[in-house]
Amino acid sequence: MSKTNKEAWTGGKNISPEALEKRKKINKKIFKFGCLPILILFGLFVLIGIFADPPSETENTITELNDPLNIGIDSLNTLVGKKVPYDKWDEWGSPKTLDGTNNQYWVVYLDSANVSFVSDKKTDKVLFAGFEEQNAINYVNEVQAERKKLIEKQLSGWDGSHIQLTKLIKKAMNDPDSYEHDETVYWDMGSHLVVRTTYRGKNAFGGVVRNWVKAKTDIDTGTVLEIIEQGP
- Spatial distance between the Cα atoms of 218 and 168, rounded to a whole number of angstroms: 14
155-231 maps to which CATH number?
Answer: 3.10.450
- Spatial distance between the Cα atoms of 118 and 99, rounded to a whole number of angstroms: 11
Please give the full DSSP string across 23-91, using - where no structure is assigned: HHHHHHHHHHHHSHHHHHHHHHHHHHHHHSPPPPHHHHTHHHHH-TT---HHHHHTTTTSBP-GGGHHH
The whole-angstrom distance between residue 223's C-alpha and the CA centroid of its chain comes to 31
The pTM (predicted TM-score) of the whole model is 0.59
Q: Report pLDDT digits (tens) over 75-120.
A: 999 999 999 999 999 999 999 999 999 888 999 999 999 999 999 9
Is the pLDDT at 53 greater than 90? The verdict is no
Is the pLDDT at 31 greater than 90? The verdict is no
Q: Does an H or E element contain 170, and which?
A: helix 163-172
Mean pLDDT of 28-38: 54
- Spatial distance between the Cα atoms of 128 and 112, rounded to a whole number of angstroms: 18
Query: What is the percent of the chain with per-residue pLDDT over 70, rounded to a whole number?
Result: 72
Count the residues in the chain.
232
- CATH 3.10.450 positions along the chain are 155-231
Q: What is the mean pLDDT of the chain?
A: 83
Instruction: Please tell me what DSSP assigns to residue 176.
Output: G
**Among candidate residues 82, 67, 59, the one with its CA nearest the CA of residue 116:** 67
Beta bridge partners of 216: 194, 226
Q: Report pLDDT digits (tens) over 156-178.
A: 999 999 999 999 999 999 999 99
The pair phi, psi for residue 13, each rounded to 5°, is -75, -40
Cβ count within 10 A of residue 94: 11
Q: Would the CA dihedral through 174, 175, 176, 182 be positive or negative?
A: negative
Determine contact, residues 137/124, Cβ cutoff 8 Å. no
**Among candidate residues 171, 168, 216, 170, the one with its CA nearest the CA of residue 193:** 216
